[in-house]
Amino acid sequence: MDIKDSHINYVEFKAKDLEEIKGFYTASFGWTFKDYGPTYTAFSDSGLEGGFEKRDTEIINGVLVVLYHRNLDLIKNRIIKAGGKITKEIFSFPGGRRFHFADPSGNELAVWSDK
């Protein structure tokens, strides 16, 4: 797959029970899962890659849309100049790095890179 800058690349949901959520989406839609430790599982075979993050607290905003950009510093600066606010600074995770931001309406999204 050719990953393109500034395209939605991943969707991340929140879940209270990862085993329950995996069972539900496997039985309902045939999705497959790969676990990344006790608090995260990624899904595929859904039309768009994504994952579920385990949360013990109340889930208010249960979806995180993740865009791709090969140059995180460049896109982070564009977001700030356009009026966005960084809500989580750049951090590393297995497979890459990412940061989170809020758009002018307060919607939180993330941008990741494998570079």
- CATH number of the domain at 3, please: 3.10.180.10
- pLDDT in single tens digits along all 115 residues of the chain: 688 999 989 999 999 999 999 999 998 889 999 999 999 999 999 989 999 999 998 887 789 999 999 999 999 999 999 989 999 999 999 999 999 999 888 889 999 999 8
Query: What confidence score (pLDDT) does residue 1 get?
Result: 60
> d(Cα 74, Cα 57) in Å, to the nearest integer?
34
* Same domain, yes or no: 48 and 75: no
* Same domain, yes or no: 49 and 2: yes
What is the β-pairing status of strands 50-54 and 8-15? parallel
Please answer whether residues 68 and 9 qualify as being in contact, where contact means their C-beta atoms are separated by less than 8 angstroms: yes
Domain total in the chain: 2
> d(Cα 52, Cα 12) in Å, to the nearest integer?
6
Last residue of a domain, one of 22, 39, 60: 60
* Same domain, yes or no: 14 and 47: yes
Query: What confidence score (pLDDT) does residue 107 get?
Result: 83
> d(Cα 18, Cα 3) in Å, to the nearest integer?
28
